[in-house]
Amino acid sequence: MTDMLIEGGRAHLGNQIVDASLRIAGREIAAVGADHGYSSPAIDADGLLVLPGIVDLHGDAFERQMMPRPGVDFPIDVALIDSDRQAISNGITTVYHATTWSWEPGLRSADNARRLIDAIETMRPQLAADTRFHLRQETYNLDAEAEIVEWLAEGRVDLLAFNDHMDSTVASLAKPQKRSRMVERTGLSGEAFDRLVEQVVSRAHEVPASIARLAEAARKANVRMLSHDDESPEMRKGFRSQGVGIAEFPVNEETAREAARAGDFIVFGAPNVVRGGSHTGWTRASDMIAKGLCSVLASDYYYPAPLLAAFRLAADGVLPLAEAWQLISSAPAQAAGLTDRGTLAAGQRADILLVDDTLPLRPRIVAVIAAGRLVHLTEASRLVHTLAPRKAVAAA
Q: What is the pLDDT of residue 236?
A: 98
Amino acid making up residue 300: D
Whether the pLDDT of residue 92 is over 90: the answer is: yes
Cα dihedral: 339, 340, 344, 345 (round 10) = 90
- Residue 357: predicted pLDDT: 97
CB distance 148 to 110 below 8 Å: no
Q: What is the pLDDT of residues 363-392, one digit of tens each?
A: 999 999 999 999 999 999 999 876 545 444
With a CB cutoff of 8 Å and minimum separation 6, the contacts of 302 are 61, 270, 271, 274
Give the mean model confidence (pLDDT) for residues 120-142. 97
pLDDT tens figures, 189-215 = 888 988 998 999 999 999 999 999 999
- Give CA–CA dist 348/344, Å, rounded: 7
Tell me the pLDDT band of 393, cut-offs 50, 70 and 90: very low
Tens-digit pLDDT profile for residues 40-77: 789 999 999 999 999 999 999 898 888 888 778 889 99
Cα torsion for 7, 331, 278, 104, to the nearest 10°? Answer: 110
Q: Give the pLDDT of residue 171.
A: 80
- Supply the pLDDT for residue 170: 83
Point out the least confidently predicted range of 70-84, 150-164, 254-268: 70-84
Q: Is 33 left (phi over 0), alpha (psi -120 to 50) or beta?
A: left
d(CA 109, CA 141): 10
How far apart, in Å, do the first and last CA atoms of the chain sit? 29
Q: What is the CATH number of domain 3-52+343-386?
A: 2.30.40.10
Among 110, 105, 163, 169, smallest CA distance to 139 is for: 163
Q: In the prediction, which pLDDT does 185 show?
A: 77
d(CA 290, CA 25): 38
Look at residues 341, 343, 349 and name the one whose alpha carbon lies nearest to residue 326. 343
**Structure confidence at residue 394 as a pLDDT band (50, 70, 90):** very low
Give the per-residue pLDDT at 396.
41
Per residue in 309-348, pLDDT tens? 999 999 999 999 999 999 999 999 999 999 999 999 999 9
DSSP H stretches of helix in the chain: 62-66, 76-89, 110-123, 145-153, 166-172, 176-186, 190-201, 207-220, 233-240, 253-261, 270-275, 285-290, 305-315, 321-326, 330-336
Residue 294, pLDDT score: 97
What is the rounded distance in angstroms from the CA atom of residue 348 to the CA atom of residue 27? 9
pLDDT on residue 40: 75
Produce one character per residue of 169-178: b if its CB has 16 or more CB atoms within 10 Å, e if not: beebbeeeee
Residues 6+ apart with CB under 8 A from 224: 159, 160, 218, 245, 246, 335, 336, 337
> What is the torsion angle, in degrees rounded to the nearest 10, for the CA atoms of residue 282, residue 227, residue 100 and residue 183?
-50
Average pLDDT for the chain = 92
pLDDT of residue 33: 84
Q: Does residue 252 register a pLDDT over 50?
A: yes
Decide: 332 and 55 in contact? Cβ < 8 Å: yes
**Percent of the chain at pLDDT above 90?**
78
So what's the pLDDT on residue 277?
77
Q: Where in the chain is the domain with CATH 2.30.40.10?
A: 3-52+343-386
Give the pLDDT score at 392: 47
Give me the pLDDT at residue 39, please: 52
Q: How confident is the model at residue 278 (pLDDT cuts 50, 70, 90)?
A: confident
Residues facing residue 269 across a β-bridge = 298
- The whole-number average pLDDT for the span 112-124 is 96
What is the DSSP track for 167-182? HHHHHHTTSHHHHHHH
What is the pLDDT, as a whole number, of residue 186? 82
Say how far apart CA 187 and CA 242 lie, in whole Å. Answer: 35
Residue range(s) occupied by CATH 3.20.20.140 in the chain: 54-336
Give CATH for domain 54-336. Answer: 3.20.20.140
* Weakest-pLDDT range from 73-82, 101-110, 138-147, 174-183: 174-183
| pLDDT score for 261 | 97
Whole-prediction pTM:
0.92
Nearest-Å Rg of the Cα atoms of the chain is: 22
Query: In the 8-state DSSP scheme, what is residue 393?
Result: -
Confidence band of 240 (pLDDT split at 50, 70, 90): very high
At 184, give phi and psi (nearest 5°).
-60, -40
Q: What is the pLDDT of residue 262?
A: 97
Quick one: pLDDT band at residue 395, thresholds 50, 70, 90? Answer: very low
